[in-house]
C-alpha cells in the first residue's frame, strides 16, 4: 500500500518510470487517500506521454485489458481506479453520489506529480465526480500538474431525473467548466439527441468542447462483455485505443487553466420525496405538433385524433425496456377497442430498414410512425426511452412517464379510464 501524500508522489512515479518500455505488465497499487480509504489502482505504466486517470461508471466494471495494453503501447499511461472496492460499496445508479471528492482530487494530484499531462476519463454519472475533483484541484496551490483535459463517455449531468413533459435541469458545475472536454456519445441512446445541448452547457464556463458522436453504437459498448456487443460495436471497440490516443494528445496540447470559474447562481432543485413509478399527471397544456408518416406510407397528424384519448409512445428497437413494453401495448389496444383509445408509437432515430426488420420479428398492432432524424425530441422533451404520454380528447397533455410500464396493471389503466370518462366524451 502506498499512501497518497506529497512526499511519496515522486517515489511512486519514480518506480513506475523506471520500467523499461517492454515492461508494460500492469501493476496493482493501493493508494491511501485523506479519508483513510485505500483505493486499488491498476496501472499500465509508460515512460512518458499523457497519463489517463480512469474513473469507473456508477455501475462499476472496466474496459477489457487489451484497451489499456494498447494505450500503453502507444505511450499513454493509465490508472484505473476501483472506487467501489476502495469504499466497499456495491455498484449502482447512486453509488458515486457521496464519494469523497477530496479523495479523488488527491488521486489526480498524485497522477500529476511529475508534471505529465493528466487526462481524466469517466463514464455516465462518474463524469460529475470528475468535474468536482478537477475543480477542487483548480482551487489548490498546485505543486503537481493540473488536470489537462476530460474524456467523457455518455456523461450524465442532469441535476435530477427529468420528468415527462418538463425540460431537464443541468448540474451547476456543468456550467462552470474551463478545462477542455472530449465527449464520446453513442448514437443509440436518448442522450445522443442532447449532445449539442450538453456541449453548449459545458462551453458556458469557457471549456473547449469536442463532440464525437458514434452512430450505430449503444452506451457502455466500451466496457460490456463481448457477448453483449453487436458486430459493429465490437469492431469499433477494436479501434477505441487509437481514438482515445488522438483525444488525449489533442487535450494535452490545449491550455490547462489553473483557476476555476465561478459557479452560477441557481435555485436548488428539491429532490422528490416519492419517486414516480407510473404515469404522472402534468399540467394540462396543448400537445406539441406531431405529423409523421408510418411504415405503410400513411401520414398521421395528431390533430386528426381529436375526440379520442391518445397514448403516444416514443421508443427504439435497440431499447430493451421498449421491446418488453410492446406486448402489453398490443393488449391495451385490443382491450380498449371501440372505447375511444388510440395507441400510436414513434420510432426515433433509426432507419426505415432497421425498423422494418425489427417488426418482421415482433408483432405490433398499432401504427408505428417513423422519425429517423429525431425531430420530435426537443418539442416532446424526450430524455429516455420509452417515453409515454396520455393526451386527452381535446389534444392536451395530461399524463407522462419515462420508462416502460406494464399496461395490463390497474394503476397503468386508471388514468386512461379517467380520461375516457371525462365530460365531453362521445
pLDDT the model gives residue 139 = 72
Is 126:56 a contact under the CB 8 Å cutoff?
yes
Lowest mean pLDDT segment, chosen from 103-107, 142-146, 186-190? 142-146
- pLDDT per position as a tens digit, 14-44: 444 444 343 457 999 999 999 999 999 999 9
Better-predicted residue by pLDDT, 417 or 142: 417
Q: Which of 398, 361, 101 is nearest to 279 (CA)?
A: 398
pLDDT the model gives residue 423 = 65
Q: How confident is the model at residue 188 (pLDDT cuts 50, 70, 90)?
A: very high
Distance from the Cα of residue 78 to its chain's centroid: 22
pLDDT the model gives residue 273 = 40
What value does the mean pLDDT take over residues 176-185? 97
pLDDT the model gives residue 160 = 87
Average pLDDT over the chain, rounded to whole?
Answer: 90
- pLDDT per position as a tens digit, 290-336: 999 999 999 999 999 999 999 999 999 999 999 999 999 999 999 99
What value does the mean pLDDT take over residues 158-169? 88
What value does the mean pLDDT take over residues 107-120? 92
Q: How confident is the model at residue 255 (pLDDT cuts 50, 70, 90)?
A: confident
Better-predicted residue by pLDDT, 317 or 270: 317
pLDDT the model gives residue 294 = 96
Alpha-helical (H) ranges within 159-290 are: 195-203, 231-252
Which CB contacts under 8 angstroms, 24+ apart, belong to 360-368? 362/323, 362/326, 363/330, 364/326, 364/329, 364/330, 365/330, 365/333, 365/334, 366/329, 366/330, 366/333, 367/294, 367/298, 367/300, 368/294, 368/295
Burial (Cβ within 10 Å: 0-12, 13-18, ≥19) of residue 416: buried
Residues in contact with 368: Cβ distance below 8 Å, sequence separation at least 6, in sequence order: 294, 295, 345, 346, 347, 355, 359
Other CB atoms within a 10 A radius of the CB of residue 271 amount to: 9
DSSP label at 170? B
**In CATH, what number does 280-420 get?**
3.40.30.10
**In CATH, what number does 2-252 get?**
3.40.50.1820
Q: Which of 200, 217, 101 is nearest to 157 (CA)?
A: 200
pLDDT the model gives residue 367 = 96
pLDDT the model gives residue 141 = 63
In sequence order, the β-bridge partners of residue 80 are 42, 54
pLDDT the model gives residue 378 = 95
Residues in contact with 152: Cβ distance below 8 Å, sequence separation at least 6, in sequence order: 121, 122, 123, 127, 130, 181, 182, 183, 184
What value does the mean pLDDT take over residues 168-197? 96
pLDDT the model gives residue 19 = 43
User: Distance between CA atoms of 413 and 418, rounded to whole angstroms?
Assistant: 9
Q: Is the pLDDT of residue 285 over 80?
A: yes
307 Rama sector, left if φ>0, alpha if ψ -120 to 50, beta otherwise: left
Lowest mean pLDDT segment, chosen from 59-63, 315-319, 364-368, 420-424? 420-424
pLDDT the model gives residue 128 = 97
What value does the mean pLDDT take over residues 229-242? 96
Share of the chain above pLDDT 70, in %: 89
Lowest mean pLDDT segment, chosen from 78-87, 240-249, 276-285, 306-315? 276-285
What value does the mean pLDDT take over residues 66-94? 95
pLDDT the model gives residue 267 = 57
Q: Is the pLDDT of residue 12 over 60?
A: no
Q: Where are the domains of the chain?
A: 2-252, 280-420
Q: How confident is the model at residue 1 (pLDDT cuts 50, 70, 90)?
A: very low
Amino acid at each position: 500500500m502506498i499512501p497518497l501524500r506529497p512526499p511519496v508522489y515522486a517515489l511512486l512515479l519514480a518506480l513506475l518510470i523506471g520500467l523499461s518500455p517492454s515492461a508494460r505488465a500492469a501493476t496493482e497499487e493501493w493508494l491511501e487517500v485523506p479519508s483513510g480509504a485505500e483505493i486499488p489502482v491498476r496501472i499500465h505504466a509508460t515512460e512518458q506521454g499523457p497519463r489517463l486517470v480512469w474513473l469507473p461508471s456508477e455501475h462499476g466494471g472496466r474496459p477489457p485489458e487489451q484497451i489499456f495494453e494498447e494505450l500503453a503501447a502507444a505511450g499513454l499511461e493509465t490508472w484505473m481506479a476501483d472506487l467501489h472496492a476502495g469504499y466497499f460499496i456495491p455498484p449502482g445508479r447512486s453509488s458515486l453520489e457521496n464519494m469523497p471528492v477530496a479523495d479523488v482530487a488527491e488521486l489526480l494530484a498524485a497522477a500529476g506529480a511529475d508534471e505529465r499531462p493528466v487526462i481524466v476519463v469517466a463514464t455516465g454519472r462518474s463524469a460529475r465526480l470528475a468535474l468536482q475533483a478537477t475543480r477542487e484541484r483548480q482551487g489548490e496551490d498546485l505543486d503537481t500538474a493540473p488536470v489537462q483535459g476530460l474524456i467523457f463517455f455518455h456523461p450524465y449531468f442532469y441535476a435530477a431525473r427529468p420528468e415527462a413533459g418538463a425540460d431537464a435541469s443541468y448540474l451547476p458545475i456543468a456550467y462552470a467548466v474551463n478545462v477542455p472536454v472530449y465527449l464520446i456519445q453513442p448514437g443509440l441512446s436518448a442522450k445522443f439527441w442532447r449532445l449539442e445541448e450538453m456541449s453548449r452547457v459545458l462551453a458556458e464556463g469557457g471549456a473547449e468542447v469536442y463532440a464525437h458522436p458514434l452512430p450505430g453504437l449503444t452506451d457502455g459498448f466500451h466496457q460490456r462483455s463481448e457477448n453483449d456487443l453487436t458486430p459493429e460495436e465490437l469492431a469499433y471497440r477494436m479501434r477505441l485505443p487509437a481514438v482515445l490516443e488522438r483525444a488525449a494528445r489533442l487535450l494535452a496540447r490545449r491550455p490547462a487553466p489553473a483557476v476555476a470559474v465561478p459557479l452560477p447562481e441557481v435555485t436548488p432543485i428539491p429532490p422528490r420525496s416519492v419517486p414516480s413509478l407510473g404515469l404522472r399527471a402534468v399540467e394540462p397544456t396543448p400537445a406539441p405538433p406531431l405529423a409523421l408518416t408510418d411504415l405503410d406510407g400513411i401520414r398521421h397528424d395528431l390533430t386528426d385524433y381529436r375526440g379520442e384519448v391518445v397514448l403516444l409512445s416514443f421508443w427504439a428497437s435497440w431499447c430493451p425496456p421498449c421491446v418488453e413494453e410492446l406486448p402489453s401495448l398490443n393488449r391495451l389496444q385490443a382491450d380498449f377497442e371501440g372505447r375511444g383509445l388510440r395507441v400510436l408509437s414513434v420510432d426515433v432515430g433509426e432507419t426505415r430498414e432497421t425498423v422494418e426488420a425489427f417488426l418482421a420479428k415482433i408483432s405490433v398492432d398499432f401504427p408505428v410512425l417513423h422519425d429517423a432524424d429525431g425531430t420530435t425530441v426537443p418539442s416532446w422533451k424526450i430524455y429516455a426511452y420509452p417515453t409515454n404520454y396520455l393526451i386527452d380528447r381535446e389534444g392536451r397533455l395530461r399524463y407522462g412517464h419515462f420508462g416502460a410500464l406494464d399496461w395490463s396493471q390497474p394503476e397503468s389503466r386508471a388514468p386512461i379510464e379517467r380520461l375516457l370518462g371525462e365530460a365531453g366524451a362521445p
